[in-house]
Every structure is written in C-alpha cells, then in structure tokens.
Amino acid sequence: MGGLAIGAQDAWGPGVAQEVAVALGGELPLNTHGGQLSAGRLHGYGFLHEACVQLWREGGERQVSGDPRVAVAAAGGGPLGACLLLVRD
C-alpha cells in the first residue's frame, strides 16, 4: 500500500501532502470522497462506502489511478474505534 519511508515520521506537519503525495493523483491518495467535511456525521460509514467504491472502480472523477486492490477505512478512536482492511481479488 505504501506510506512514509522508515525514519520519515518527522515529515508529518505542514507540507506533508507534497512529501507523501496524498492527493488524488498521488502515490497514497487519502480521503478521496472529501472526508467528514463532505459526508456529515456518518460514524465512518462514508469512509467504508468510499473504500468499496474505489475498489469497484466506480469513483468517477475521484477514482484513484491504477488498479486499486487494497483499501483501508477507519473511524472513531479509543474503545469505539475501528479499522477495516479491504482487499479485492
């Protein structure tokens, strides 16, 4: 899936989007549907739906490039947090 190189944790902060290319056309696209600001308060279901849409290749203008085979959807925090790893055959 990719991510920051070992030892690059200091890069998190202003400008991190340029360094790890988290934009739609980048190496590690994040929040392709806009995140909570565009989805309201759905308790993470919007993230799950968007991950499925990307894996189904039905994202339209916000579809990630290439052939996505793995997606991660996470929401919440603490004892109510959850994370799903989705894989397409």
Query: Does the model's pTM come out above 0.75?
Result: no
CA distance 77 to 65: 30
CA distance 34 to 20: 18
* Residues 7-40 pLDDT 10s: 555 444 555 555 556 777 777 777 787 766 666 6
Domains of the chain by residue range: 1-28, 31-87
* Residues 69-82 pLDDT 10s: 999 888 777 788 88
Query: Which residue has better confidence, 56 or 79?
Result: 56
CA distance 6 to 32: 25
Statement: residue 83 has pLDDT above 80: yes
Query: Which residue has better confidence, 83 or 16?
Result: 83
